[in-house]
């Protein structure tokens, strides 16, 4: 009897990364979907800094929030969306690469070189039958002699450089916001302005959901020319969230006043 179902359409291979009829790699598609289902991570590049912001998730009310932003080296950090375990493994490999490079050459690991190395590692996983593709997308931010850098790598092994980008579930509203502001942010020297814009972009992803940004579910990190990578503490994040809430309330009040002024009142 002939094979039935999905196995019938594999092209002569039983490996998990076998090519499906039509040129599709099913395991790669599943890995890409893992990224799309992960919580959103976004980043925005200014003149001398990159800011990264993430929405943290918890599997239940009894569990802690999963970490999404990671330190790689003093000049580099990453954000992950997808399988957290895969992200942690790649993070450790990137940290080790930075340590080895600094030990061997007494200089910081070039950002793009490390991004290419990780992208090649991801691509290799799509070509072997003894494993599966990494089910995680990375946003990599860093600084080098050319200034601030921002890259994205996908499970397929592709990588791209961006001025601003977002990955994960409901990333499109954040991308739309970033597309509106990235031109003015390219020359922005004040990292506080970049942080404000990144948090506003994050708010766009939760407008249709019953979620409110708090210090528990919001993570922000910054890497800046001449300064080491740092993650913002709860007090700093709370200041930005309170300011955003106040500005939103004022805008709503102004809209209400405009509506009242524009009403036609008929005394009859």
pTM of the model: 0.85
pLDDT at 102: 96
- Helix and strand numbers, DSSP H then E, in the chain: 6, 12
For residue 14, pLDDT over 60 is answered with no
Calculate the CA 121 to chain-centre distance: 19
For residue 15, pLDDT over 70 is answered with no
Q: pLDDT digit string (tens) for 28-47?
A: 999 999 999 999 999 999 99
More confident residue, 263 or 110: 110
pLDDT above 90 coverage of the chain, percent: 74
Whole-Å CA distances, 208 to 212, 232, 246: 11, 26, 20
Q: Which element (helix H / strand E) includes 20?
A: strand 19-20
SS3 assignment, position 264: coil
Q: Could you say which DSSP state residue 8 is in?
A: G
The pLDDT-based confidence of 12 (bands split at 50, 70, 90) is very low
The pLDDT-based confidence of 13 (bands split at 50, 70, 90) is very low
Q: pLDDT digit string (tens) for 207-251?
A: 878 889 999 999 999 999 999 999 999 999 999 999 998 887 666
Decide: 38 and 81 in contact? Cβ < 8 Å.
Answer: yes
Whole-Å CA distances, 148 to 52, 160, 164, 189, 255: 12, 14, 12, 11, 38
Calculate the CA 174 to chain-centre distance: 11
pLDDT at 3: 44
Q: How far apart are alpha carbons 151 and 169 in whole angstroms?
A: 19
């Amino acid at each position: 009897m002939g094979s039935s179902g999905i196995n019938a359409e594999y092209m002569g291979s039983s490996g998990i990364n076998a090519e499906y009829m039509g040129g599709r790699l099913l395991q790669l598609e599943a890995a890409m979907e893992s990224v799309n289902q992960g919580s959103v991570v976004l980043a925005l590049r200014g003149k001398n800094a990159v800011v990264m912001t993430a929405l943290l998730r918890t599997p239940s009310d009894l569990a802690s929030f999963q970490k999404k932003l990671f330190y790689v080296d003093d000049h580099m950090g990453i954000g992950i969306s997808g399988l957290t375990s895969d992200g942690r493994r790649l993070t450790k490999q990137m940290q080790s690469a930075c340590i080895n490079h600094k030990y061997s050459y007494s200089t910081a690991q070039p950002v793009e070189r490390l991004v290419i190395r990780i992208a090649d590692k991801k691509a290799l996983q799509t070509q072997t039958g003894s494993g599966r593709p990494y089910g995680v997308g990375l946003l990599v931010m860093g600084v080098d002699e050319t200034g601030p850098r921002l890259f994205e790598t996908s499970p397929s092994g592709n990588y791209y450089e961006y001025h601003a980008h977002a990955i994960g579930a409901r990333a499109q509203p954040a991308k739309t916001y970033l597309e509106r502001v990235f031109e003015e942010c390219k020359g922005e020297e004040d990292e506080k302005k970049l942080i404000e814009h990144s948090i506003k972009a994050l708010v766009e992803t939760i407008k249709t959901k019953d979620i409110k940004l708090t210090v528990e579910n919001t993570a922000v990190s910054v890497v800046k020319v001449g300064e080491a990578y740092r993650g913002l503490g709860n007090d700093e994040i709370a200041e930005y969230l309170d300011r955003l809430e106040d500005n939103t309330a004022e805008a709503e009040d102004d809209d209400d006043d405009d509506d009242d002024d524009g009403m036609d009142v008929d005394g009859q």
